[in-house]
Amino acid sequence: MKLFPFLLFSFIILFNFCSAANVTYDRRSLIIDGQRKLLISAAIHYPRSVPGMWPGLVQTAKEGGVDAIESYVFWNGHELSPGKYNFEGRYDLVKFVKIVQQAGMYMILRIGPFVAAEWNFGGVPVWLHYVPGTVFRSDNEPFKYYMQKFMTFIVNLMKQEKLFASQGGPIILAQVENEYGFYEQFYGEGAKRYVKWAAGMAVSQNIGVPWIMCQQDDAPDPVINTCNSFYCDQFTPNSPNKPKIWTENWPGWFKTFGARDPHRPPEDVAFSVARFFQKGGSVQNYYMYHGGTNFGRTSGGPFITTSYDYEAPIDEYGLPRLPKWGHLKDLHSAIKLCKHALLKSEPTTLSLGPSQEADVYDDGSGVCSAFLANMDDKTDKDVVFRNVSYHLPAWSVSILPDCKNVVFNTAKVGSQASVVEMVPDEFQPSVASPSKGLKALKWDIFVENAGIWGEADFIKNGFVDHINTTKDTTDYLWYTTSIIVGENEEFLRKGSHPVLLIESKGHALHAFVNQELEGSASGNGSHSQFKFENPISLKAGKNEIALLSMTVGLQNAGGLYEWVGAGLTSVKIKGLNNGTIDLSMSNWTYKIGLQGEHLGIYKPDSLNGVNWVSTSEPPKNQPLTWYKVVLDPPSGDEPVGLDMIHMGKGQAWLNGEEIGRYWPIKSSKHEKCIQECDYRGKFFPDKCLTGCGEPTQRWYHVPRYWFKPSGNILVIFEEKGGDPTKITFSKRKTSGLCSLIAEDYPMIDQDSVQKDGSGNGKTRPTVHLKCPQNTSISNVKFASFGNPTGRCGSYSKGNCHDPNSTFVVEKVCLGKNECAIEVAEENFDRGLCPGITKKLAVEAVCS
Ligand code: GAL
């Protein structure tokens, strides 16, 4: 009996998604099967997580009120060499799109194939740069040939799997190129021709759904030009027949090694989204909604960190980031409640003050919604709208789905915040390892030669470009030479040191003399170039100089970006009898990559060909060392990070899967960091930086899916020296929850909001706490009904406080997975501090 409704429901869902949908558009919105749509979209890049995580990520987006998933297609992950395609594992695009379909969501596919995206080489395969005569992203025959070939391949794959909406699939929009408008100027006359060609080529693919081009004012019809920015409310498409689409709203920002940590407050993200819909927008996408991880050597930049967390609504590890995720969920519900009015009527804009305005969508038949905005970035304002007074905090929007009741204000965060910790978890020797029975871990070591190993690749007078030489098959290129030091050199007698001077186009360098590491240097996210200047130890006779040049991700954007090189440009030694000698035009011997890479030392099945040396005490502070250790997985099911704070720089693998580059390089202590971020006013990436003097990235995500029950092989290549005995796993745990809500907070009743945008929407201000699955509230650390202040983790009581607060909260919440307490005097001390608007702040512990 119970099965029947379920089957019927499944049938309806299947039917809905298997029947071809007609996707068109006009000025107001996309129209799918005759129905106008307001869409919230979320970028989740499939190769930045693992397939096992995909259903959960998509589901968390859906629960967050998202309608569509957006992703680029990553050409260099798919076409490894001309015509050799890869759709395995993290690159299983069809599987990803089908997961989105199964969740009953739409998909926006940004085929590019240039993507930028802080992804290696902007997503274009490095091999294409070496096809003679190729200039990327221009009216250039080889580029157009390979671009068209790849796009056609992807389109055909999607068609074959019936994934376009026109075939009953989830894909409602496709993108060609990416922000080319920003760079057209670099490509001369041919740029316009290229744009026309790209648009025409895309349209001729006959996918049955519209094409978009982002940041492309001259996108030819019928291709829709869209906006990418922190704010897009003022954007207008290039034709009155195209809808206003925001393809990239950046809810945070990416990080570069050695730099500080950017933060975009949820209040400002919500403000930008509300303003967009207030001003007639109809599709809004968060770039990123889940940023994820740049596994292996996929990050670009250069210098983009392995983490691509992006401070997105879902964190790198797949957990909802609170309160950002919840605040945006509330916002999405509020916008959905306005859907009918927004899509049915034209707005009327009313001025409510010098920087305050209302947009009213009223069709005259009783369906009316309004957005009241205060764009003043300092001052709160009371405004009067339809004879009612409304308090608008600075830089905020209030949403009134019925033109009367406020259900949401972008600056009032009503959803819970969380305290997330990385809890150390010591390495556990594996039961399957030969060390069974021993308490200590067993390590294996393999040490690289500093300089040429095996046969040299070639010898040349002077320098080659690093990237042209490695073709990005590895980060590493050895530049080696030698010098003869005469016995009569003064410095030998004085015991002083000559100085090695190196200049490089980028990105990083370790300098070895006679097998000893003499020093390291690197550029950074803003300047790849750098200089190295270090005293070195030279002896009488022959001295080997071995310089390990490294790339840290290839350039991913900019005009003619594929021509930006890397590697050494000058090497000199100062302080010899003859003054300074210039070695730049000397005889240099080159070796591409490391011996370990050549041996495939990180692959579990090629470990036999390697002369590992076993030890129970792995060496510390030793450069150029490969470490291997066999482990059990950390207990529990929390996401896992590898804590590399005690290591130098290198790469890591688990069971042959590429964790990525690690480099706990610290940002400068002397730069400016903030304690608290003021959400008010225009956001820019440097506005709210934290982490001065701390490693940009300390933990490196190791997906749970990569672990076996035992016998896991962790391989680490350390370039300059670290302490491997101090490496631990860390488990990402939500240990606490917080909420601070005032009696006058508008609150949306999530349960009453229907998918079709109906429901009454408003509820009374309530503190709602929910622990992660299988945990419950074990302790109420702080509770105050009165006028508490502060932030999650540091709330403090004010001069108005109900001493029973903790008791009241404990009674409702202790031992529960979730609980709700209305912020009302009835629940606390009636008549407490009359005349003030009271708040309830709670911090609780989940375990
Ligand atoms: C945009 C680009 C994206 C990404 C973003 C910054 O300009 O289209 O791919 O790079 O900037 O995260």
Q: What is the pLDDT of residues 687-745, one digit of tens each?
A: 999 999 999 999 999 999 999 999 999 999 999 999 999 999 999 999 899 999 999 99
Give the whole-angstrom CA distance, residue 574 versus residue 501.
7
Give the other-Cβ count within 10 Å of 455's Cβ.
Answer: 6
- Centre of ligand 1 to C-alpha 116, Å, is 6
Give the whole-angstrom CA distance, residue 349 versus residue 357.
7
How big is the CA angle at 341 (ends 338 and 345), to the nearest 5 degrees? 145
Nearest Cα neighbor of 452 from 600, 593, 613, 627 is 593
Q: Using H for helix, E for strand and C for coil, what is the string for 320-386?
A: ECCCHHHHHHHHHHHHHHCHHHHHHCCEEEEEEECCEEEEEEECCCCCEEEEEEECCCCCCEEEEEC
Name the residue at shortest CA distance from atom 11 of ligand 1.
117
Q: Which of 248, 357, 518, 638 is catalytic?
A: 248
Ligand 1 site-directed mutation target among 71, 178, 179, most atoms within 8 Å of CB: 179
Beta pairing, strands 171-176 & 106-112: parallel
Instruction: With beta carbons less than 8 A apart as the criterion, state whether 792 and 738 touch.
Output: yes
Give the pLDDT of residue 606: 66
Name the residue at shortest CA distance from atom 3 of ligand 1.
117
Ligand 1 site-directed mutation target among 287, 554, 555, most atoms within 8 Å of CB: 287
Give the pLDDT of residue 440: 75
Cβ-based neighbours of 349, under 8 Å, separated by 6 or more: 357, 358, 359, 360
Between residues 773 and 383, the one the model is more confident about: 383
Q: Is 248 a catalytic residue?
A: yes
Cβ-based neighbours of 644, under 8 Å, separated by 6 or more: 652, 662, 664, 698, 699, 700, 722, 727
Give the whole-angstrom CA distance, residue 93 versus residue 56.
16
- Ligand 1 atom having least distance to the Cα of 254: 12
- Ligand 1 atom having least distance to the Cα of 557: 10
Cβ-based neighbours of 540, under 8 Å, separated by 6 or more: 485, 486, 487, 489, 492
Give the other-Cβ count within 10 Å of 435's Cβ.
Answer: 18
H or E element that contains 286 = strand 283-290
Tell whether the model's pLDDT for residue 4 goes beyond 70: no
- Centre of ligand 1 to C-alpha 21, Å, is 30
Pair of tokens at residue 107: 């998909």
**If you compute the radius of gyration of the chain from its CA atoms, what whole number of angstroms results?**
29
- Centre of ligand 1 to C-alpha 538, Å, is 47
- Ligand 1 atom having least distance to the Cα of 178: 8
Q: Which of 179, 311, 448, 843 is catalytic?
A: 179
Instruction: With beta carbons less than 8 A apart as the criterion, state whether 181 and 175 touch.
Output: no
Ligand 1 site-directed mutation target among 110, 212, 248, 684, most atoms within 8 Å of CB: 248
Give the whole-angstrom CA distance, residue 94 versus residue 383.
51
- For tokens 């129905």, what's the residue? 35
- pLDDT tens readout for residues 294-345: 999 999 999 999 999 999 999 999 999 999 999 999 999 999 999 999 999 9
Name the pLDDT band for 749 (thresholds 50, 70, 90).
confident
Return the half-sphere exposure (C-beta side, CA atoms, 13 A cut-off) of residue 699. 20
- pLDDT tens readout for residues 441-459: 889 999 999 999 999 999 9
Give the whole-angstrom CA distance, residue 548 versus residue 521.
11
Name the pLDDT band for 12 (thresholds 50, 70, 90).
very low
Quick one: average pLDDT of 763-777? 93
Positive or negative, the CA dihedral 603, 609, 611, 616 is positive
Name the residue at shortest CA distance from atom 5 of ligand 1.
117
Cβ-based neighbours of 494, under 8 Å, separated by 6 or more: none
CB-defined site of ligand 1, < 6 Å = 115-118, 178-179, 228, 248, 254
Same fold, 420-446+597-730 and 764-846: yes
Q: Is 63 a catalytic residue?
A: no
Return the half-sphere exposure (C-beta side, CA atoms, 13 A cut-off) of residue 834. 2
Give the whole-angstrom CA distance, residue 269 versus residue 40.
13
- Centre of ligand 1 to C-alpha 304, Å, is 12
- Ligand 1 atom having least distance to the Cα of 116: 9
Name the residue at shortest CA distance from atom 9 of ligand 1.
117
- Centre of ligand 1 to C-alpha 443, Å, is 41
- Centre of ligand 1 to C-alpha 124, Å, is 15
- Which architecture, in CATH terms, is 458-593? Sandwich (2.60)
Give the whole-angstrom CA distance, residue 288 versus residue 193.
31
Give the whole-angstrom CA distance, residue 301 versus residue 570.
24
Name the pLDDT band for 15 (thresholds 50, 70, 90).
very low
- Ligand 1 atom having least distance to the Cα of 115: 9
Q: Tell me the three state secondary structure of residue 296.
A: coil
Question: CB-based burial of residue 755 (10 Å sphere; 0-12 exposed, 13-18 middle, 19+ buried)?
Answer: exposed
- Ligand 1 atom having least distance to the Cα of 556: 10
Give the other-Cβ count within 10 Å of 811's Cβ.
Answer: 12
CATH number for the domain formed by residue range(s) 420-446+597-730: 2.60.120
Indicate the CATH number of 764-846 among 3.40.50.2300, 2.60.120.740, 3.30.360.10, 3.20.20.70. 2.60.120.740
Nearest Cα neighbor of 807 from 772, 771, 832, 780 is 780
Name the residue at shortest CA distance from atom 10 of ligand 1.
117
- pLDDT tens readout for residues 548-557: 999 999 999 9
Q: Tell me the three state secondary structure of residue 634.
A: coil
Domain boundaries, the chain: 37-321, 420-446+597-730, 458-593, 764-846
- CATH says 37-321 is which class? alpha beta
- Centre of ligand 1 to C-alpha 311, Å, is 15
H or E element that contains 630 = strand 625-632
